Structure 1
């Protein structure tokens, strides 16, 4: 005989049967009475309550039959649980499935069977309520219905028994747990106290970590703002209470990280934090806001002068060298000050204004550094070798600024400018104007420099120096690059400088093939267009593909362009900038160093980058007649360019005397407002004929 199929449904049914915990239990009066009642109602000699187990039929209650269990494969009830309604077999000897069943042909000689499945509320048939007779017979519909109703009562009793059993288990478990807890009360109490102590310690640690900087151990921004809020509220209640917030940003900290590593940088920050902390009173608070930024709350001060004194003391002490990893490191700081006299209502506003003042201090520090460079230029002495050795310095360049209504107005104006620039980018309000670069001796137009202009809806055309720095900071310049490159290429094509020696083009021809009518007779045959590139543009991975696509689209040779980069980029170690410069040169584009001579530079880098031209800083021309050394400096730069086969362009020509001087020094190319202003493309011919 084959084993019972173990289908998924059958496994679930057997699991449910085990859940009721009814198999192999002692006789139960209630089940016996229900079996007896079923036999009586159906007028049968025997009644059974059965459950179908894995391989057997187990009888829970019986009357009129001496059966406790049978193999499952012999049981009528195994067929009953496969139906949803009553199974009635009027004569087992005539039934094809049961006529050879040992229970039919042998004891107890069953002839009649009627059983209804015991179906749980969730639909599992676990057994039957059945009646038997030892001779053939029939059941009336009323009897069948009664058997069905009694089977529901059996299921109800099963549910009650299961719930009682579960309740008993719960009670037993609870009693056991009570006993166990009672027996170990003293131990548990001791453990509880230990856990409570550990939790309190952990909570205190978590609270400290949430409010302190993990590197320096100083309070963090959240802690600082909470404490500052108390001072703000106290000042609102008591006008005599004054405070100041100092926003400190370390100058030139990034190079420390970049050159010496973050571990050294972290150590330096820790030393800075400890030094600032030692300079303050117990009533003051110093916090690290993040990176190289710190904030100080000077609470209960006499006024502005006390705050300024504290700032100067902090800046002086920060300038003193730090010993970090066996190195002597010096650092400076730009500090912004916000005073309570401005009547703040919120801590965030105080910190924001101190931050704004700090950025103003940084700007002043940069301006001071540039002024020191200019002073060096004014006092250069004659030197036979390397005359262009202007060194930038940050010595004593650190600054502080006290926030006031003027700074607030400038900040608001900056926010308005930023929004206007973003709108200008969307509306296409930027255009290139072009300033000619002339061959000084022949007055022939040699090149044009594309200068960015903004067609402001209220102010008209605005020069780049009024917005370019902010446009750089908010990424407008980088986003504008595709439009400007395409605009420049279109303009060269429009002027007739197209397809000359274009690599890979079947339409290549030279400007000499154009008639005089097609191009101005004042334009040099190798006219070039200068375009400025910023550091942010050179960091963009899209820059080289943009140029490649534009040159192919307009069929232009890259040699028609001179890309001007700031002299400071000569010494950059940024791999992205270096790679982009190399790739641009590979496209045939020329490189021009703008503002040459104003700061650091490297002769070797000029050759490594294959620089084509140098545009001297306008300050050299402007100050040419202030001292004989300046003239010598101009001559030296030009001589150097000629010896290195690098074109030198004199820029900033504002007077006839300056023009004549450059011509006398054998400068070939020059540019300046005295020669021609920057004009829109349609006015270039007028500039040429000037």
Structure 2
């Protein structure tokens, strides 16, 4: 508690505190007493909910409540320790003050006021809790004001004089109040001198009279810290008593009389001491309330609130921005920023429902595919292929109208939705703009590349039942355009259907059944000496026409139509079979085969066991294998995946975090998931020579992985300059088309060294 200054004027708040300190014991208090008390409190600050809570063997007992919300009791519960924990959690929230009370009947005092008045309200309620505790133990404040009452009418008059003066504390300055008290005591007790002084650690301060004339050494010698003192000096009888309440020291009251005090006088002095102590206690509470509500403290609290509000607003903006980004990423292609398959299908479903319900002009779909895109990728590299796709997306968007939509389904396949367009006449202007815009060469890292596209067009009709049917028709028309020589537009007709083309989903299902999804292997080397340390397995689709499709052309389709787990199982089978053929070679003693898997394999124990069963069936030691999981996919799984990752590692399989840096919690992933390898997303590799930030991130990842004892693999090395830069950075492992493109197993065999006939295990 801060030291109370008697120089401050008294406040009407003292009357409120006085009524609190005069409150009867809880056992004697009636609802009317509580109502009157809380009515007085409401004159000082608004109160919303009030409750006095006790505990019995049968549960909580509400001895008094006013405005208490019905759900609050259920929220707090009926049993310890949950009840106490609920009360402790409630304290400080939305203006609540919850205080314990040391009373046989009441254990908790709950009051809700205005949040900005909480500090002052808490002080008053502490005073009430203290009062209830004192009253329950029959403390002196519950006794009659003085045992002198009823003994002598003169003493009754003296007591009333003192009480009258003390009641003036609400209107008189402190010095004037003590002066009046001095005058009354001179007539009542024959008082010669009255002093009020406080003993500090090093010096004494005179509270009355102020200023003090004379030496204070004698007065200080009279002041005992805890006990009253009596002494006769130079014909005067001195009485010194410490004023203290609840073991808290305020000051010393010193009186000098010309005659010794009798027994009644001593009782009167004791009464006076109690009343002065109470007055000083009230004054100290008033000062604390004034301190809490001073302009400086209020401004400080307002400043803290403003700072907290600004932090909350910043966090809210960051959360909203992250939420918008997550929503955007869920519905858009990460490379081009165009709508993805999910957003396209949702858009088409709405358009189809509107057409079937209201009719109208209808809409048209254009299925667009780049001619010979794989050849462009092979000749110029995947980095340039990505640049081509992004620029193509921008040009297509520039050809559309306000309500049209362009989406990328995966690889080099795009679908365009044309609103209020039907047939060749409706789609003609947009098709002409597309052909004109794509006639201009594409500039890719200093080179110009001219492309052609094949487009299939299908319009909705009264016979169209499903969106997938219309999309299938546009797809068939596009394949007809390719069969007819590419670089052309074909509108869907019955002739396209006669070709019996199957949908992409059907084609992928057939490819899996016919064994045309094959594993290719890309070497992973130790950069410092070009030593082969492992291979990454990459799925390839060999079409019936002999075209080889990269994984990014059909993996999104496999995920969309629920074939991804079957595809992963197929690749794992074939990779293990190939590995078994390579095992007799001596160079494979520390060899690792990394296999990309979708996060769904970690969704359940049976899914994990299915992977282990494949490895066991092929007779391959699990220690040769690395399972790679995409960082973003892991973040979408449940908390049990950590247990399943540990189970895989216990079997000898190592875990790699793929595409690191492309998610939203990358650094957390390193600590959250049990991993052995970290693969930096190839986007950083492509940009690092021109972006200091990307280069700094790779350098930082090198240091982090070194400190955490993780192996760092850098993907996407497509030029000699990138390779030299990574060697200079000291990155341990790398892979990319500059080192070697993905190769079939037969082309990898010569790189592994001669057969020895030795068991590598």
TM-score, normalisation: structure 2: 0.36
